Structure 1
Amino acid sequence: MDNEELVLLAGATGYLGTYIAKELSERSMKTKIIARNTKKAMQFANNNTTVINAEITNTNTLKGLFEGITTVISTVGITRQKDGLTYMDVDYQANKNLLEEAKKAGVKKFIYVSVLNGKQHRNLKIIEAKEAFVDELIASGINYSIIRPNGFFSDMKDFLDMAKKGKVYLFGSGKKKINPIHGKDLAIACVDSINVSNEEINIGGPDILTQNEVAELALLASGKPINIIHIPHWIRKSILKILRTFTSSKTYGPLEFFLTLMAEDAIAPRYGSHRLVTFFQNEIDVLKK
């Protein structure tokens, strides 16, 4: 890795961003972290890492921050709309603000984290905004890496939350497969991609599991008997239709995303060493302390 690298990281206080901040620090890479909540981000400050207060939805707060930056890494996005901001305000426009400042400053590389199969799911509100930014990034002329994970271990906590109550609910047969990835492994791939040119990287974890198997792991970690309830897909489709008809995108956005992707395989090239079974057990152990 070039010792002259100066990385600007946006989104450091989120699940993945936290691991990327730690990975950059472990590699002793000079880093600027921009955050709205600097108090939360100060945990990453050290000799190589500076934390700067900025509001990425407000371009005035970004001016001058990109001087000398060679690489921008953005994990910026919202799962649930809040503070009156929409997916297009954050996942698209805020990232576009970063990209515009990067272009002005002559930044060499821009790394952005989207989602696996995003191009096929532009009809979903969350993904529509992410892929609109992907289009901007590809057209920008800046060397890019677009990282496309198929799901984080943190997303799998939904299975664990159900398991702790003794039942896991799945749509359909539960035979759809996924290989989610731990934030630590994904962070390594993101930082490594600094040396990659104009690529979209599909990535998942080492274990390809059916939803039934994920549910079983969650129940076993919780010390519960195997109790999986399978709900017919027609009910899932009905819920989707009702949500889209009678609620705003603020309400149905994350549910639409979840209900759609639960109905299909999400298998990506295997990467990393962290196992879901260990993650579940660690989560349970933390609760016991």
Structure 2
Amino acid sequence: MSEENKKRVVIAGATGYLGKYAVKAFKERGYWVRVLTRSRERLLEPGPFTAPALSEDDMDDIFVGEITKPETLEGLMDGIDLVYSSVGISRQRDGLTFEQVDYQCNRNLINLAVTGGIKRFVYVSMEGAENLMHLAITQAHEKVVAELQQSRLDYRIVRPCGYFSDMGVLYDMASKGRSFLVGEGTNLMNPIHGRDLAEVCVDTAEGDELEVAAGGPDIMTQREAAALAFEVVGKPVKITVIPMWLARGLVKVINLLSKQFGDLADFIVTAGEIDGVGPKRGNTTLRSYFESLHRDA
């Protein structure tokens, strides 16, 4: 396909776990790819928990700007057909809140897309949001969804059940000889690998479904996932349970010290209480993911 006939996508969130895979997935599907980033250097570095480093060949254009500062984004939407965003707080340490990043940054992108005449906007939210609306992170995500629904944009929402990058924490704890679980770990989940989820995102961008939920092939409890990590690293299973009453108390203390980390802690604790299961759209097993982490260790 000639350059002028390719669909042109701008990808926001490209330095994150999912975003790096999304850049590769859109490029491999034949898109002309513009990447929005605050740091060119971070794009070219490997991300956490097997997220790939990107190369110049994975991108056609690198746009350096800050989504928190719309004045730095002039020209971002020029010639673009599709906007993809997985922008959100994961392990940021800049003191910003979910409201400031997960909501306001995406709202800035939506406003730019509307004024730029963009054809379609793909946003990555979360599955099971209706059960998590007391959380700041969920409120921010769903405010973005509401903005898209009220806009003139042809939007698509992807709702993952969880990320393998979160499961990487279980591997790290197992490799050190002990896992800590919030609650008994009996809640069910089927998180999805970033590479598989990126493929779902491209499929959704090209499809007719307005909202697509996505999980991985393995449905298991958190305790089973922790035990699997021990099996892969070859160490005896040692799991320490943090009672919910204690975890909730710790959340209150953390929240007094830092609103950002308090919100993150609240999310982690709540995730230990509820099921997170969705359609099996991924193919990569959790065992193979743990094994890849072990090979790279």
Fold similarity call, TM over 0.5:
yes
- Tell me the TM-score normalized by structure 1: 0.92
- 1:160 — aligned with what? 171
- Aligned Cα root-mean-square deviation (Å): 2.0
Q: How far apart are 1:248 and its partner, in Å?
A: 2.8
Find the residue that maps to 1:221 and give its secondary structure.
helix
Retained in 2: the 8 A contact 1:19–1:187?
yes
Aligned equivalents of 2:17, 2:152: Cα separation in 1: 29
Asked if residue 26 in structure 1 is aligned to residue 28 in structure 2, the reply is: yes
1:34-53 matches, within 5 Å, as 34-41=36-43, 43-46=54-57, 49-53=60-64
1:77-107 Cα distance to aligned partner (Å, 9 max, x none): 1124533422212111111111111111111
Moved over 4 A (4+): none
Find the residue that maps to 1:46 and give its secondary structure.
helix
| Larger mean Cα displacement after TM superposition, 43-52 or 169-178 | 43-52
Q: How far apart are 1:141 and its partner, in Å?
A: 2.2
Selected match of 1:112 from 117, 123, 136: 123
Aligned equivalents of 1:236, 1:65: Cα separation in 2: 43
1:108-152 Cα distance to aligned partner (Å, 9 max, x none): 110011111223323212222222111111111211111111111
Find the residue that maps to 2:191 and give its secondary structure.
coil
Q: How far apart are 1:198 and its partner, in Å?
A: 5.8
Q: How far apart are 1:71 and its partner, in Å?
A: 0.6
Aligned equivalents of 2:119, 2:222: Cα separation in 1: 40
Letter in 2 for 1:16: L
Retained in 1: the 8 A contact 2:95–2:260?
no
Aligned equivalents of 1:171, 1:251: Cα separation in 2: 16
Structure 2: gaps of 5 or more residues: 45-53
1:47-66 matches, within 5 Å, as 49-66=60-77
- 2:269 — aligned with what? 259
Retained in 2: the 8 A contact 1:21–1:44?
no
Change (3 A) 1:44 1:193: farther
- 1:274 — aligned with what? 284
| Larger mean Cα displacement after TM superposition, 103-112 or 162-171 | 162-171
Asked if residue 15 in structure 1 is aligned to residue 17 in structure 2, the reply is: yes
Asked if residue 218 in structure 1 is aligned to residue 229 in structure 2, the reply is: yes
Asked if residue 208 in structure 1 is aligned to residue 219 in structure 2, the reply is: yes
- 1:284 — aligned with what? 294
Aligned equivalents of 1:138, 1:44: Cα separation in 2: 35
Change (3 A) 1:232 1:83: closer
- Tell me the TM-score normalized by structure 2: 0.90
Q: How far apart are 1:223 and its partner, in Å?
A: 1.1
Aligned equivalents of 1:47, 1:22: Cα separation in 2: 6
Q: How far apart are 1:180 and its partner, in Å?
A: 0.6
Aligned equivalents of 2:153, 2:181: Cα separation in 1: 42
Retained in 2: the 8 A contact 1:152–1:183?
yes
Change (3 A) 1:106 1:126: same
| Larger mean Cα displacement after TM superposition, 205-214 or 231-240 | 231-240
Find the residue that maps to 2:96 and give its secondary structure.
coil
Retained in 2: the 8 A contact 1:144–1:198?
no
Aligned equivalents of 2:66, 2:196: Cα separation in 1: 28
- 1:102 — aligned with what? 113
Q: How far apart are 1:22 and its partner, in Å?
A: 0.8
Q: How far apart are 1:238 and its partner, in Å?
A: 2.8
| Larger mean Cα displacement after TM superposition, 209-218 or 220-229 | 220-229
Structure 1: gaps of 5 or more residues: none
Q: How far apart are 1:262 and its partner, in Å?
A: 1.1
- 1:142 — aligned with what? 153
1:36-71 Cα distance to aligned partner (Å, 9 max, x none): 101233534338621111111111121222122111
- 1:243 — aligned with what? 254
- 1:79 — aligned with what? 90
Change (3 A) 1:39 1:248: closer
1:218-257 Cα distance to aligned partner (Å, 9 max, x none): 111111112223343332333334434x333122121111
